[in-house]
Chain A
């Protein structure tokens, strides 16, 4: 390193000065790294959502179709005072809860088998089998279930062969329920499987050494350790069912209006974006309560 006449080291270039400044200020480094993804998230995602949801507190002028920026809660009053909207919300939440519960019950033993019992090759085959429906189009899966549940569909054909009569499931809420359980199952299996895999076998052996039988081990050792995975899966199934409107429209009946259907029908010719936004806030609020409850149960401690 050559010294100049004055005995000082040579003046640093621009890059090294920037580098030095960042080295001395760790918070600036972190800000620079975080700003692009956070900016994308806030500017494009959150800002767009906020601009839409803010209209929930405004109204539409019927004559001109323009949005009138008068702050009021009348959209929410309209939602919660009409018995029809209340029952639509109750139906949506009820079916979402039911789908979550059924998928939990189906996914738990399936994930346990995959994680702890199956040989490696079987596990891979099962993993691919669970993921394969995700490659099919959403609509194709609904139409497949329409073929199964139809009047002269696969189900009634099978029941007829067994002499078990006839089930009228198509265009009812049962058809919607079954289709949702099927479509969201992979989203429940994968997180539970991931959580199951992480349980060290030593803990299960220790539980058995202490005298616990299968059910006690499952209840006291496995379930608490897998709970974060279950909650993660339940967030998927619950929120996806809460917002869906395509399945109820295609396979549901006269009593299958969901929250999403109302939102969809109010945008477009109806031009009632404020009301649609107010209706959209309802599932967001429900999910927020759900997440707070899950956090209280300690599901996010592992994160």
Chain B
């Protein structure tokens, strides 16, 4: 009896002392968190904390390794192996499935682990303003001079004249339609808001879709005064969200993965919707009657950038990668392989050599008017271009998407 009592007593004392150690650790953890929490604003140009970091002036000897965060399909052996042979920089790929994931992986400047990330325009400004990107010396990337003017210093990866990455490729968010249901190509985005096609519509499960609605309203309700679908004041934002909320009963499924949209069209679940050229070429490849068009109101588009991490561990290899991936031959290889449009103006000829007609298919030789009709993704931040601070930030886009649209 006595031993049992003392047994419980010793256990109690042991537990108490162990818990005390744990509690001290907790307090230490909590107090350290109050000293962390990101750098303050206004450290550099345009409020970017890393704007004053020194840039590389000369590419030195490669470090032998390169850690890249990329979309699936962006690091095919077809163009990675020649790079590795040329420069001796072995590429270690980390594939991310969403822009959110890329932003999370790049926290803390890439954590000293990742060199670059091929993020899309919706994530770039978030990465830049969080201080996770480093200024890039564009004079070390000669092919940059052959880029389309719209992609040399675009607002989604260049802030205050400082470049935080090199533009890569881009693609439009096109209107996809089943050619059997729509023998004549639809001419307006109004078709996906039309109750006549209830249960046949599919659009991306992405809060940035609100910009698509805003782009449609820019042309159909000019009284709202929308000029930039990513910089919306509250009334403009609410109008776009209401349009999407009214669309919800018509939507069959909000697709989260490209493969989902492909199978939706194949099954006949969807006959019309918004998608990427990637899905269009995949469906065309399996002889499915699919068509795509950029309607009269224009379209949104995604443009990817190879952003340089603030704490880049292998800067020389990173710059060598940026030089390599911007050359016309490699741009053409990636464009044809993935199904997107290169930013280098000289890539068109190489694309047709790889796959005849691909240059025109992916609008690599499109006139400036085509590019003007595309509104490229940009992270919605509260600071509007007009200098005011009343634009709706992306966190509200997310909560409106979750509560009012879906």
Contacts and interface: CB of A to CB of B under 8 A. Distances in A.
Interface of A: 26-27, 29-31, 33-35, 38-39, 41-43, 46-48, 50-51, 54, 60, 62-67, 69, 78, 82, 84-85, 88, 150-152, 170-171, 249-250, 253-254, 257, 261-262, 264-272, 275
B47 A64 contact: yes
A270 B21 contact: no
Interface string B5-19: 010011101110111
A84 B403 contact: yes
26 contacts: A26-B6, A27-B17, A29-B10, A31-B18, A33-B14, A35-B21, A39-B18, A42-B25, A43-B22, A51-B29, A64-B41, A67-B38, A84-B403, A152-B267, A171-B253, A253-B252, A254-B253, A262-B402, A267-B104, A268-B98, A269-B103, A269-B122, A269-B126, A271-B126, A271-B394, A272-B395
A277 to B, nearest CB: 12
A272 B395 CA distance: 6
B331 interface: no
B402 A63 contact: no
A17 to B, nearest CB: 21
Given A39-B25, A265-B207, A62 B382 contact: yes
Contacts of B296: none
A270 B394 contact: yes
Given A67-B38, A85-B403, A265 B100 contact: yes
A151 B10 contact: no
Contacts of A268: 98-104, 123, 126
A260 to B, nearest CB: 12
A147 to B, nearest CB: 10
Given A31-B13, A264-B100, A275-B395, 10 more contacts: A27-B17, A39-B18, A63-B381, A88-B402, A150-B267, A151-B269, A267-B104, A268-B98, A269-B100, A275-B399
A272 B400 CA distance: 13
Interface residues of B, number: 66
A41 B40 CA distance: 33
Which secondary structure characterizes the binding site on chain B? helix
Contacts of B254: 254
Interface in B351-406: 379, 381-383, 389, 393-395, 397-399, 401-404, 406
Interface in B73-125: 98-104, 122-123
A164 B150 CA distance: 58
Contact of A65 (B34, B130, B263): B130
B268 A151 contact: yes
Most chain A CB inside 10 Å of its own CB: which residue of B23, B26, B395, B397: B395
Top 7 nearest A-B pairs (CB, nearest first) are: A268-B100, A30-B14, A42-B22, A84-B403, A27-B13, A64-B41, A270-B398
Contacts of A35: 18, 21
Contacts of B33: 51, 54
B128 to A, nearest CB: 10
Given A50-B29, A254-B254, A261-B402, A66 B37 contact: yes
A257 B256 CA distance: 13
A65 B126 contact: yes
Interface in B239-290: 248, 251-254, 256-257, 260, 263, 267-269
A266 B21 CA distance: 34
A54 B398 contact: no
Contacts of A31: 13-14, 17-18
B129 interface: yes
Contacts of B397: 270
A35 B13 CA distance: 12
A270 B21 CA distance: 36
Contacts of B17: 27, 31
Contacts of A48: 29
A34 B19 CA distance: 10
B358 to A, nearest CB: 31
A94 B25 CA distance: 38
Contacts of A50: 26, 29-30
Given A30-B13, A30-B14, A171 B252 contact: yes
Given A67-B37, A268-B104, A26 B403 contact: no
Given A46-B26, A63-B382, A151-B268, A254 B260 contact: no
Contacts of B103: 268-269, 271
In this complex, the member of B98, B399, B404 whose beta carbon has the largest number of chain A beta carbons within 10 angstroms is B399
A253 B402 contact: no
A136 B41 CA distance: 47
Nearest to B11: A30
B228 interface: no
Given A42-B25, A67-B38, A266-B395, A27 B14 contact: yes
A265 B17 CA distance: 40
Contacts of A266: 395, 398-399
A63 to B, nearest CB: 5
A84 B395 contact: no
Nearest to A58: B37
Nearest to B6: A26
Contacts of B25: 39, 42-43, 47
Contacts of B18: 31, 34-35, 38-39
B248 to A, nearest CB: 6
Contacts of B99: 268-269
A102 B22 CA distance: 40
